[in-house]
Chains A and B, each alone.
Chain A
Amino acid sequence: MPGKYRLKLLIALIAAQALFLVGIASSSYAAGRLGQEIRIRTAPVDPRDVMYGDYIVLSYDISRLDKSLWREGGDIPKRGETVYVLLKQSAANGGIYEAAGAFRSKPAAGSGEAVLKGRVDYSFDNRIRVRYGLEKYYVAEHQGKELEKKAGAMIAVVAVAPWGQTVLERLEEGR
């Protein structure tokens, strides 16, 4: 496929790839600017060895849901299923968001509430473990040590965009 024809197709292919990258970046950026900012309690998964290369693996309080939070009929969701988790701002806890219910389809959120979309990692007995796509926090090479000192309870600041996209903005020291 030589000649001009191929060149045109190649330009289209490059443009599509560039658009894909710009698309990811700008939608994440927009989610950060326009989204509702919520605070969730989190901690590194393995505090003895916080640094996995250049990112930390996080586990949230809302990652482990009790069966009693499941608001739909039938069995609790299985591995791989999509769930929507309703979060409520807790007045007692300094504005931290906590899980208030888990649903199969997206529930409406009032003021002081937010909905995160997640995927069930595994579930058994009366526990559901959910992944939100917020479990990795990339750090610069030299920031690792500082974060290691703070290891333990942290607050994750997450932006929830009106279109449902979530972006992990930053980590703050927990109390």
Chain B
Amino acid sequence: MSRHFVQTEGRRWVEQGIITPEQHQQIMELYGEKKRAAGLLPLLGGLLVGLGILSFTAANWQGMPQLMRLLLLIAVMAGCYGAGEALSKKGHSKTGIAFIGLGLLSFGAGIVLTAQMFHLEAYDATSWIVWGCAGLLSTFLYRSRFLFTISAALFTAAQLYSVTEFHQFSYAAFAIGLVGLGGYVWRRQDSYQVWQFSLSFIAQSVMLVAVHDWKFLWTAVPVMALYTLGDALPNRKAFHPLQTAVLAAVFLFDWFVVLFMGKGDFLAVRHDWLPAAAPFLAVMALLLLASVVLKLRSGRGITAIEWLLVPVLLYVGHAVDAIYVIVLFVFSLYVLWRGYAEEWRLKINLGTVLFLIGTMTAYGKLTWDFMDKSLFFVVGGALLLAVGWLLNRRKREFFRNGKEGTDHAR
């Protein structure tokens, strides 16, 4: 709730005698604007100071003897870390973290500038990984979201660098990131960080498969393993992004299939995408089994429908765009339905958006032999109406029985 909302609405509540002006003032104090704005300023300030130091150093760099340069770098780095520690000890935690971040930034600059001094060229992503490790350790020390974000970005960048520059997947970057970032996420159980961890994992899975020229669908193995892990972990509120991120990625992929894999197009990529059916489908079936068992155990069996998005139906071989437009529809209906059933507005809105995306894609893109376009939309509309009617009836029953739908844990 924003301060602005409380301010304007609160006046009305006071006028109607619901709360006293004093109470209104007390409520307003809970939503202090100063606190939030002041949180951002030190970060921006730190960034500017950092850029200034960098450009000053770069301009005078060549004139300095090498030993001097190295000492200066280390002094700046240690100074930033020290200032960060001193500030956060005094309770200025935001400013403190900004300085720790600067220390980390100057370490990275130190690596680059040392390499320049000796004309070193990297063979692999080692220096990025070392940088990421420094970020990771400082994250553990200061338990900061900001530092976690930087560290996650560093490990992902290390992988991207290794893959694009050297055509090699850095298992070291992947493993250290998995254990380090994963360990931190496991201890903190904060959904914001779970999101970043999941996105980094998915991006690296794509790179792993792409750089080895493996059949693209193999990406689904690590990605759906991450999804299944989401079924195994207890704290759903914190860990749901493991699954939400995977579903978002797979939804995007399916949407891509619908958009670009019309008639002949799929034939052209089929060989690059599809692994040998038997081993791939066997692995998928195992993951599905594990996921469903875990779901049933925690009473969320219905969410097994989400597996529908996994693009195994590409093995059908033709009309894959039509198949996946239907899958997208079914999935968005499912999200809508769960949203209404759980009375969770965010999910209802998300389902609506997904449904609209599906509809517009289908309308704009597809020409079909198997079903008339207009018939398809009539069927789709009728389905929506039916789902709406069912849900409303269920809702009425809920209220008749005096129950409240507060099960937001999905």
Contacts and interface: CB of A to CB of B under 8 A. Distances in A.
B119 A136 contact: yes
A24 B66 CA distance: 13
A143 to B, nearest CB: 9
Interface stretch (B69-77, B315-323, B335-343): B69-77
Nearest to A24: B114
B114 A17 contact: no
A171 to B, nearest CB: 10
A21 B85 CA distance: 22
B141 A9 contact: yes
Contacts of A138: 116-117, 119
Contacts of B383: none
A80 B168 contact: yes
Interface in A19-60: 20-22, 24-25, 28-29, 32, 54-55
B48 interface: no
Contacts of A21: 70, 73-74, 107, 110-111, 114
Nearest to A15: B78
B130 A28 contact: no
Q: Which of A14, A22, A133, A167 has the most CB of B within 10 A?
A: A14
A108 interface: no
A28 B116 CA distance: 11
Nearest to A10: B85
B121 A6 contact: no
Categorize the interface residue count of chain A.
Answer: 35 or more
Contacts of A16: 134
Interface string B161-205: 000001110000000000000000000000000000000000000
B141 A1 contact: yes
A119 B119 contact: no
Nearest to A136: B121
Contacts of B47: none
A18 B77 contact: yes
Interface string A74-85: 000001100000
Contacts of B85: 6-7, 10
Interface in A127-146: 131, 133-138, 140-141
A13 interface: yes
B137 interface: yes
A134 B119 contact: yes
B16 interface: no
Contacts of A10: 81, 85, 138, 141
Interface residues of B, number: 36
A65 interface: no
Contacts, number: 89
A42 to B, nearest CB: 12
Contact of B77 (A7, A14, A80, A134): A14
A22 B70 CA distance: 8
Contact of B62 (A32, A131, A140): A140
B122 interface: yes
Contacts of B114: 21, 24-25
B399 interface: no
A167 B77 contact: no
B166 A119 contact: yes
B84 to A, nearest CB: 8
A2 interface: yes
A154 interface: no
Contacts of A80: 166-168
Contacts of A62: none
Interface string A152-175: 000000000000000110000000
B118 A133 contact: no
Contacts of A13: 81, 134, 137-138, 141
B20 to A, nearest CB: 40
Contact of B134 (A17, A136, A141): A17
B94 to A, nearest CB: 16
A133 B121 contact: yes
